Chain A
């Protein structure tokens, strides 16, 4: 019976697949053995059912194809589909058959077609790179950063070289030493720019009268950093060339002066130690002295402005006003104000006679190497200023005023730090006493010890007497 059952199943499957042969199949059934005759009626129902099965099975199988956007997985789903189809088909037929064959058998729920669950394959097991799109984005970002680094670095390097090529002749004719990176103990002229960073280049020139030396810093934009490039798209900034000339004491008279763009002047007056102390007035407009309105002047006294603003200087400033950020001459230059945590510093900061020039490179970031030639006249102005200041001397009145200013500043400073200096003096005195006592204690010879002790006692007595005298004097004066 089992064999007949199996054979029948095979026939039914065969019948279900080839609908063309369906009629033939029926005919064959009629002419078959009596063994199979009993299955004749039964064969129709499952056959009909089988016919019905493929179309509804086809319907759900098509929808998953539509649902799945991922083309690569359609094949898998289809394969699974077919598999599940065949399985379900068999099971269905078997259950139907069981119902007919066996009595008392519970009818199993044949709703397989409703509860087909299509499991999603985990993304990392799928053979597709598309699911890793975030990683690809990240790597692309990194590659973009590296590309920008290389391009930016090269651009900065080309700009620096272009600047140096156009200025080399002028510098070499004026200075004996051009380019020294400070690595060797003696002064050696390397004749090259010193690269501090991917965006900062230094050049030290020395060996000229009227000045100690000149440090030129090419402060380019950070073209090598992509973040900086993006930030600059929001807020455009310029490349800058900063020239700092340090002078010997005899090369400059005592005054403080600055000229530059209005914004720069306002900022410098707040930031710079010497400008805030000596140039208290608000920046004056440059129009009074024949230079463009966009420039303003900070000066210690009017005489200084008159002295600096001669016709040639005015000519320089007028023709290159757009490139000048700030020009700062000072004999009390000590850099920007230093914020100290423990209150005021005990000593006045060290000052040096300095000329500080800051120039903007034209192009507002989009500079080309050709723009560097336009900075050459500004370097001429620097050299001219150095020579001029050597000759510029204040008259007697001006000098007196300048000296008074400096004395005033020093006095203010001393007043502010009075309390602290007192404390420091006190501690120093105590230290001295302690050191002396120790010396006496350490002395081996008892005689010498006694003598030293007596000497210390005598000194203390003298001090007390002096103090008493002073007090008496003050009292007398008060009276």
Chain B
């Protein structure tokens, strides 16, 4: 595909050694790609510790791209393709270069929300391409939420049967496999998020008894709240469900959500109130939330998956495993949150200043670019625990008709911030490169 990217737009295309016109000296005949590790990783999946470093030497007659693992080769190939340019006569040129490159942060993600609006497969794949152009390496797939449940579960087909917007706005197991493989070929991990106990209205349609019935006085109102944390059936369901998720999604991590749990419904429910008494939680529903989360974390751990959670799970003092990744998303004083999370010894990723769904007039890419993730109070060790960040494109006002122009090239600013060295901060220089890069992406 990189051949297409570099030479595909050319007017002069034909079979043969290359689209070069008159043989001009000096000439670059070949890009040799060398992967050094005995385990290059071509048949495996990328992970947090994958090596994405590469060394690129462009000189005549043969350029060499060296990387430890295939993931670094992919990054280097992207860079090489950006170095190749076409002159006015249709000749392809590349400057003699020596590049030694590696990412500053290991987790560089994009969040897509396919519940508020369904995103057809094509849309997701186009964005995976765009992510690769910007060296993003994580697709955080916020696949289900209150509004709809498009994930077609094998064990629980009713979930999407009843919970999707319609029978054809779903992701079948084949669709999911396609996304995972398309991502893998671009060195992108797919981390699915099944957000509970809040954000689960759509789950209740296909799984009766899962959500908490809300009460008005003595009577159920007919509406439902978060997942019901007091029933054994809840955990039986989750055990089965996450068994499936763990096998369908190969990444080492699953995002378990845990954000914005509204306690009102729990408070109204007499069985829940009784449970609170029994457990000695008093009126502190955060304790009930943590009780639930802990059980889910244990379930997911038993399948040998690591967890990512939104910051509330940490804020509400749930017992987290030491390798839990906490995603900081609340804008208010996020630097302080980063300090707290890392001080407690947990790994963190930053999303708070990068909610790209919050559009505004003008060149807002600059404010995303200016973010310095390590600008928080903490020791060296603490700073090491910040492993990266994510640009989020929540779907309330986004679907296939506007996803791509809304996300790009603004997300490119985040991509550079997460990959490049901390001293790459000059906005004017970034502007020049970003405008060219945008045209290239088109």
Does chain A bind chain B? no
